[in-house]
């Protein structure tokens, strides 16, 4: 079984990318932005970056008030962050794609699964999504993936004609990997060539598959992401649910660089692409563990040969033979040899050495093993827990053991590093499980192995584990597109500085620049004006102001996302996965969730009043007061978006958009939810 599984892994690892396109004529679904608007957009991009670089360079070199460095340096650092943010957006917009409304016709006879992921949502809500999924016109099979394992939901889904999948006994005591694990479990129990991922409250339009599957005529396309479009939110959308900035110019720009990523739902994926990715990941992880076990085993044998008990000539020969076996195993792997074969040879040498010597020193072995188990636990636990495996590696690498105890311990370590991956519920994990934002990590890996994606009109943790700027296989532009999304999470720290700037001047009269001179305004005003113009042209009529408001107003969410991700990656602190509520929670107190923003707004309002009083009393400069009062009002305007969100009491059907105005590939949700960006940061 091992050799057969490994042979499959080796083949997939060598051919993990997409198949060649072949000779058949493919329908070109890509249409660039109209020439005139593209030229105007690029001209504004160049001007924005030139004026932005000029402004920020001047700020660093000539305008810093070093007497107030504690606010001057953070402010110019925040402005530099914003310039990088604008630059990344501009790079994306440079090749923005505007795909035609009518996609290629799908091939007939494709096998498709529709996955509805659920955990603890109300059954009525899930079943409403099931009915909508069953009504999809293209032939398919609908499945409910219930991580809550609810028998009553199984019965209701099966009565409607849907399949039902939950976790089996193999997942007990193993990492569950949240939604990624739910989908990986379903992929092992279904056979569709393609699958559509829906959340429990997403109701697809009947022709969604007819509108999306045609993109897969190109065999290089791994997945097609479509926007979330809410048909049941008011026109002013107080929760920012539509996320037109993200699902508009941002994703269109990423699409132009073949870097549109999987957003976790409302996407159709090619099973072959994910399975190849899963097998390649399986091989890479197993090879990493075996390589490390070989390296540590070699060092342990070297130390064991210096032990007083190894002075016996027979024992010294056996230890040298095992040490050489480890070296041969490392050389075999370096030359692309079989993992299973290399591991088997080393294990055979270790077994032979133990069998030859155990009769001579059984008591010593028992004593050493008892001590080892007391410090590490039974060897069997190493095979089930990857953290225990790593702890054992570190322990053995640093400890001097008696020769026999070293042989027995290394043999157990090799068992823990075998190709069965007993620490996981299933050896093949098609979707990435390194973070709670499995969607971005998965799509980044797909792009790195040569697959493409289509945008059809949950992260910082990913960046800390897999930096897109250094990932092999990603083109530089693709790396920048992924980095741009991860970079945006740092906006929370910049927002705090932007709130602090006017507060410091209006309350205590400290200006972070030398003076608000003509040089300052001549550089700052053109940059800001061009920045907003860039957004307007790139959006092409799509409203993006609400997205800009939330990017600043949700600063506590962004900060918490960064700090918890860093704590998880650097210090091993658990990073919980919270299922987003699909309905308004009874007894919820929105104001309790907005205390940080409320304090910031209160401080800004008080600062404006006190700043005007100080100016009236002659304690502040007129121009400085005017600029900082305007700055504070702008911050308050951005924060004001949360007033409507806190007072929102639910959807009123009188505000529902007409069906004729809805995109035909839209997803309609029974309940309005928070903005997609906020969901991904929770």
Specify whether the CB–CB gap between 140 and 116 falls below 8 A: no
How many Cβ atoms sit within 10 Å of the Cβ of residue 567? 13
What is the C-alpha to C-alpha distance for residues 661 and 478, in angstroms, rounded to an integer? 33
- Tens digit of pLDDT for each residue in 596-631? 999 999 999 999 999 999 898 888 788 999 999 999
Give the confidence band of 680 by pLDDT, cuts at 50, 70, 90. very low
- Burial (0-12, 13-18, 19+ Cβ within 10 Å), 608: buried
Q: Which residues contact 469 (CB under 8 A, 6 or more apart)?
A: 479, 480, 483
Residue ranges of domains in the chain: 35-94+488-658+676-681, 112-277+427-473, 279-416
What is the C-alpha to C-alpha distance for residues 427 and 40, in angstroms, rounded to an integer? 51
| Structure tokens, 554 | 């949700």
Q: Of all residues in the chain, what percent carry a pLDDT higher than 70? A: 75
SS3 for 597-617, per residue? HHHHHHHHHHHHHHHHHHHHC
What does pTM read for this prediction? 0.75
Specify whether the CB–CB gap between 288 and 333 falls below 8 A: no
What is the C-alpha to C-alpha distance for residues 203 and 670, in angstroms, rounded to an integer? 8
Helices (H) and strands (E) in the chain, counts: 28, 9
pLDDT at position 274: 93
Matching CATH number, 112-277+427-473, of 3.40.50.300, 1.10.1760.20, 1.10.10.60, 3.90.550.10: 3.90.550.10
The highest-confidence range among 137-141, 361-365, 463-467, by mean pLDDT, is 137-141
Specify whether the CB–CB gap between 394 and 413 falls below 8 A: no
pLDDT (mean) for 576-590: 55
Question: What is the distance in angstroms between the CA of the first residue and the CA of the last residue of the chain?
Answer: 41
What is the C-alpha to C-alpha distance for residues 581 and 73, in angstroms, rounded to an integer? 40
Strands 203-204 and 667-668, how do they pair?
A: antiparallel
Give me the helix-helix angle, 271-304 and 403-416, nearest 10°: 180
- Tens digit of pLDDT for each residue in 643-673? 877 776 665 544 444 333 333 334 444 333 3
pLDDT (mean) for 441-453: 89
Cα dihedral 565→573→416→429 (10° resolution): -40
- Tens digit of pLDDT for each residue in 232-278? 566 666 666 667 778 888 899 999 999 998 888 999 999 999 999 98
What is the C-alpha to C-alpha distance for residues 150 and 169, in angstroms, rounded to an integer? 15
The highest-confidence range among 435-439, 443-447, 455-459, by mean pLDDT, is 443-447
């Amino acid at each position: 079984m091992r050799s057969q599984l490994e042979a499959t892994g080796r083949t997939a690892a060598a051919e993990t990318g997409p198949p060649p396109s072949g000779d058949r004529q493919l329908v070109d679904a890509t249409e660039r932005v109209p020439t005139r608007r593209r030229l105007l957009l690029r001209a504004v991009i160049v001007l924005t970056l030139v004026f932005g670089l000029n402004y920020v360079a001047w700020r660093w070199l000539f305008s810093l008030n070093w007497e107030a460095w504690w606010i001057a340096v953070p402010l110019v650092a925040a402005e530099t962050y914003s310039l990088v943010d604008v630059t990344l957006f501009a790079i994306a917009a440079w090749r923005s794609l505007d795909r035609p409304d009518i996609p290629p016709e799908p091939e007939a006879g494709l096998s498709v699964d529709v996955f509805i992921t659920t955990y603890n949502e109300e059954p009525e809500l899930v079943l409403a999504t099931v009915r909508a999924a069953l009504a999809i016109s293209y032939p398919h099979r609908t499945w409910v993936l219930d991580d809550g394992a609810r028998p009553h939901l199984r019965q209701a889904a099966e009565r409607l004609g849907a399949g039902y999948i939950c976790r089996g006994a193999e997942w007990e005591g193993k990492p569950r990997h949240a939604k990624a694990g739910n989908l990986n479990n379903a992929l092992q129990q279904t056979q569709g060539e393609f699958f559509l991922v829906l959340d429990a409250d997403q109701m697809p339009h009947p022709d969604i598959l007819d509108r999306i599957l045609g993109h897969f005529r190109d065999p290089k396309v791994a997945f097609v992401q479509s926007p979330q479009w809410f048909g049941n939110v008011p026109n002013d959308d107080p929760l920012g649910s539509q996320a037109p900035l993200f699902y508009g110019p941002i994703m269109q720009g990423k699409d132009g660089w073949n870097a549109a990523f999987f957003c976790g739902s409302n996407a159709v994926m090619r099973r072959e692409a994910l399975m190849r990715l899963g097998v390649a990941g399986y091989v890479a992880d197993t090879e990493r563990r075996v390589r490390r076990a070989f390296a540590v085993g070699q060092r342990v044998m070297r130390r064991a040969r210096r032990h007083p008990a190894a002075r016996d000539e027979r024992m010294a020969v056996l230890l040298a033979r095992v040490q050489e076996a480890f070296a041969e195993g490392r050389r075999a792997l370096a030359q692309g040899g079989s993992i299973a074969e290399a591991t088997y040879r080393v294990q055979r040498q270790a077994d032979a050495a133990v069998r030859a010597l155990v009769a001579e020193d059984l008591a010593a072995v028992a004593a050493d093993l008892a001590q080892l188990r007391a410090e590490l636990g039974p060897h069997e636990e190493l095979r089930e827990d990857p953290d225990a495996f790593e702890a054992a590696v570190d322990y053995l690498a640093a400890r001097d053991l008696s020769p026999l105890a070293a042989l027995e311990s290394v043999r157990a370590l090799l068992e823990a590093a075998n190709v069965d991956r007993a620490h996981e519920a299933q050896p093949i994990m098609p979707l990435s499980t390194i973070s709670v934002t499995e969607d971005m990590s998965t799509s980044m890996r797909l792009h790195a192995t040569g697959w493409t994606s289509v945008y059809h009109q949950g992260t910082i943790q990913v960046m800390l584990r897999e930096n897109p700027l250094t990932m092999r296989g990603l083109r530089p532009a693709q790396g920048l597109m992924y980095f741009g999304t991860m970079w945006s999470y740092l906006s929370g720290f910049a927002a705090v500085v932007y709130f602090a700037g006017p507060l410091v001047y209006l309350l205590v009269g400290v200006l972070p620049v030398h003076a608000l001179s003509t040089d300052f305004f001549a550089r700052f005003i053109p940059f800001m004006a061009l920045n907003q113009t860039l957004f307007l042209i790139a959006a092409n009529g799509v409203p993006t102001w609400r997205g800009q408001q939330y990017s600043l107003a949700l600063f506590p969410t962004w900060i918490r996302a960064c700090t918890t991700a860093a704590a998880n990656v650097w210090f091993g602190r658990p990073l919980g996965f919270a299922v987003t509520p699909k309905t308004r929670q009874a007894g919820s107190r929105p104001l309790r969730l907005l205390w940080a923003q409320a304090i910031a707004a209160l401080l800004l309002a008080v600062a404006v009043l006190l700043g005007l009083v100080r100016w009236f009393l002659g304690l502040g400069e007129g121009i400085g007061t005017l600029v900082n009062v305007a700055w504070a009002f702008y911050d308050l305007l951005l924060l004001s978006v949360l007033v409507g969100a806190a007072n929102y009491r639910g959807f009123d059907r009188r505000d529902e958009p007409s069906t004729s105005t809805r995109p035909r590939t839209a997803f309609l949700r029974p309940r309005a939810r928070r903005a997609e960006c906020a969901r991904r940061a929770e």
